[in-house]
Amino acid sequence: MAKVKKVFFCTNCGASSPKWIGKCNACGEWNTYQEEVVVKSETKQSEKLVWKKKQGTATGNPRPVIIQEIKAGNTQRLTSSDNELNRVLGGGIVNGSLVLIGGQPGIGKSTLLLQLALSTKAKILYVSGEESEEQLKMRADRIGTSISECYILTETNVSKILTHAQDLEPQIVIIDSIQTLSSPFIDSTPGSVSQVRECAGELQRFAKEMNIPVFVIGHINKEGAIAGPKLLEHIVDTVLQFEGDRNYTYRILRTIKNRFGSTDEMGIYEMQATGLREVSNPSELLLSQTDEDLSGTAVSATMEGMRPMLIETQALVSKAVYGTPQRSATGFDLRRLSMLLAVLEKRGGLLFGQNDVFLNIAGGIRVDDPAIDLAIVAALISSLEDIAVPSDICFAGEVGLSGEIRSVNRIDQRIQEADRLGFKQIFISKYNIKGLNFDRYQIDIKTVGKVEDLYQTLFEV
Ligand code: TYD
Ligand code: MG
Q: Is the pLDDT confidence value at 427 over 90?
A: yes
Instruction: Give residue 161's pLDDT.
Output: 94
Higher pLDDT among residues 318 and 306, named by residue = 318
- At position 415, the amino acid (one-letter code) is I
Instruction: Give residue 39's pLDDT.
Output: 65
* Cβ-based neighbours of 20, under 8 Å, separated by 6 or more: 8, 33, 35
pLDDT 10s digits, 265-296: 888 899 989 989 998 877 776 776 666 788 99
Cβ of 276 below 6 Å from ligand 1: no
Instruction: Give residue 248's pLDDT.
Output: 79
Same domain, 109 and 142: yes
pLDDT 10s digits, 367-400: 889 999 999 999 999 999 999 999 899 999 999 9
Q: Averaged over 31-39, what is the pLDDT?
A: 80
| Band of pLDDT at residue 300, cut at 50, 70 and 90 | very high
Q: Is the pLDDT confidence value at 249 over 90?
A: no
Higher pLDDT among residues 332 and 232, named by residue = 332
Higher pLDDT among residues 76 and 197, named by residue = 197
CATH number for the domain spanning 192: value is: 3.40.50.300
Pocket test for ligand 1, best of 135, 271, 274 (most atoms within 8 A of CB): 271
Closest atom, ligand 1, to C-alpha of 111: 2
Same domain, 25 and 93: no
Number of structural domains found in the chain: 3
Counting ligands in written order, the one closest to the CA of 177 is 2
- At position 270, the amino acid (one-letter code) is E
Q: What is the pTM of this model?
A: 0.77
Report the separation in Å between the CA atom of 156 and the middle of ligand 1, taken as the mean of its atom positions: 21
Q: Is the pLDDT confidence value at 162 over 50?
A: yes
Protein residue with its CA nearest to atom 9 in ligand 1: 108
Cβ of 76 below 6 Å from ligand 1: no
Report the separation in Å between the CA atom of 149 and the middle of ligand 2, taken as the mean of its atom positions: 21
Same domain, 248 and 266: yes
Same domain, 268 and 318: no
Q: List the beta bridge partners of residue 62.
A: none
Q: Is the pLDDT confidence value at 303 over 80?
A: yes
Cβ of 277 below 6 Å from ligand 1: no
Report the separation in Å between the CA atom of 176 and the middle of ligand 2, taken as the mean of its atom positions: 7
Helix/strand/coil for 171: coil
Counting ligands in written order, the one closest to the CA of 103 is 1
Counting ligands in written order, the one closest to the CA of 131 is 2
Same domain, 275 and 137: yes
DSSP state, 430? Answer: G
Report the separation in Å between the CA atom of 280 and the middle of ligand 1, taken as the mean of its atom positions: 21
What is the CB-side half-sphere exposure of residue 122 using CA atoms within 13 A?
22
Instruction: Give residue 55's pLDDT.
Output: 47
Instruction: Give residue 425's pLDDT.
Output: 94
| 396: alpha, beta or left? (left if phi > 0; alpha if psi -120 to 50) | beta
Report the separation in Å between the CA atom of 110 and the middle of ligand 2, taken as the mean of its atom positions: 4
Q: Averaged over 348-373, what is the pLDDT?
A: 89
Report the separation in Å between the CA atom of 96 and the middle of ligand 1, taken as the mean of its atom positions: 28
Pocket test for ligand 1, best of 107, 109, 110, 111 (most atoms within 8 A of CB): 111
Instruction: Give residue 42's pLDDT.
Output: 54
Closest atom, ligand 1, to C-alpha of 114: 2
Which H helix or E strand runs over 112? helix 109-119
Closest atom, ligand 1, to C-alpha of 105: 8
DSSP H stretches of helix in 211-261 = 231-235
Same domain, 299 and 387: yes
Mean pLDDT for all residues in the chain: 86
Residue 373: exposure state from Cβ atoms within 10 A (0-12, 13-18, ≥19): buried
Residue 69 lies in a domain: no
**CA atoms 91, 93, 97, 101: torsion sign:** positive
Same domain, 291 and 345: yes
Q: Averaged over 417-440, what is the pLDDT?
A: 90
Cβ of 142 below 6 Å from ligand 1: yes
Residue 74 lies in a domain: no
Q: Is the pLDDT confidence value at 75 over 80?
A: no
| Band of pLDDT at residue 447, cut at 50, 70 and 90 | very high
In terms of residue numbers, what domain contains 22?
3-41
Lowest pLDDT segment from 9-13, 131-135, 160-164, 451-455: 9-13
Do the strands 98-103 and 123-128 form a parallel or antiparallel pair, or are they unpaired?
unpaired
Same domain, 261 and 396: no
